[in-house]
A and B are shown apart, each in its own frame.
Chain A
Amino acid sequence: NAGVTQTPKFRILKIGQSMTLQCTQDMNHNYMYWYRQDPGMGLKLIYYSVGAGITDKGEVPNGYNVSRSTTEDFPLRLELAAPSQTSVYFCASTLTSGGADTQYFGPGTRLTVL
C-alpha cells in the first residue's frame, strides 16, 4: 500500500491564483481530512469527509473548498489565493472514528503565496 499520497510537494502561487491540492489513499478508509500547519503551530482542521459524497467544514474553512466523489480521493481547492494561505497542508485518513484507529498522514504540500 502507498498509504496517503499528496501532490504537489511544493508550490508557489501568486495572489489571486487558484489551485487544487490532490490527496489519494489506497487503504479504503472512510474518513478523510485536510489540515494546515503554520510554523510553530499545531494542525488546524480545514475540511473533513466521513464518506464519498459527504463533506463538512472544520475549524478554518474560509478560502477553501473540497469534494469527495470517490472513497480514494479528497482534493482541496484554493480559490483566489492569499498570503494568509501560505502554509503546509496535510491530508489524513482513518478507517473508523473509534478505538485506537489513528489518522494516517500524507507527506504534505508546502504552499507559498506571494
Chain B
Amino acid sequence: GQNIDQPTEMTATEGAIVQINCTYQTSGFNGLFWYQQHAGEAPTFLSYNVLDGLEEKGRFSSFLSRSKGYSYLLLKELQMKDSASYLCAVRNDYKLSFGAGTTVTVRA
C-alpha cells in the first residue's frame, strides 16, 4: 500500500520561510514530486527529486532522504501568491500516489 503524510495546514507571514514536510511509506519508489494547487485550479509541477539531497529552483527548494522516507519543500521569501495547497506525490513505476496536501496561507 501507499501511505503519504503531510501536515494539513500552515500559516506564515509574507517574506518569511516555510518548510512543508512529507513522509512516505510506499511499495516502490522512483521519484518524488511536489505540486502547487491554487484553489479551484489544477495542480502544477514544482519540483522533482529521485536522489538524496537538495534541489533548488529559485525561491523553492526540495529535499529528499530515501532511507528515511522523507522529503520537504522549502518556500523562501513568501509572497501572497504562494497561498495555495502543496501536494507531495511519490511515483512507483508510472503511477503517482498523492498526499492529502498542505494548505499554506500567507499573511501580510
- Which A residues have a C-beta under 8 Å from some C-beta of B? 31, 33, 40-45, 48, 50, 58-59, 90, 94, 97-98, 100, 102-108
Contact: A42 with B98, CB < 8 Å?
Answer: yes
Given A43-B96, A102-B33, 7 further pairs, Cβ under 8 A: A40-B8, A40-B100, A42-B98, A43-B43, A45-B95, A90-B43, A108-B42
* Smallest beta-carbon distance A45→chain B, Å: 6
* Smallest beta-carbon distance A99→chain B, Å: 8
* Interface bracket on B: 20 to 34
- Chain B residue with Cβ nearest A4: B42
A100, B49: Cα distance in complex, Å: 8
Question: In the complex where A42-B100, A105-B42, A105-B43 touch, is A98 in contact with B30 (Cβ < 8 A)?
Answer: yes
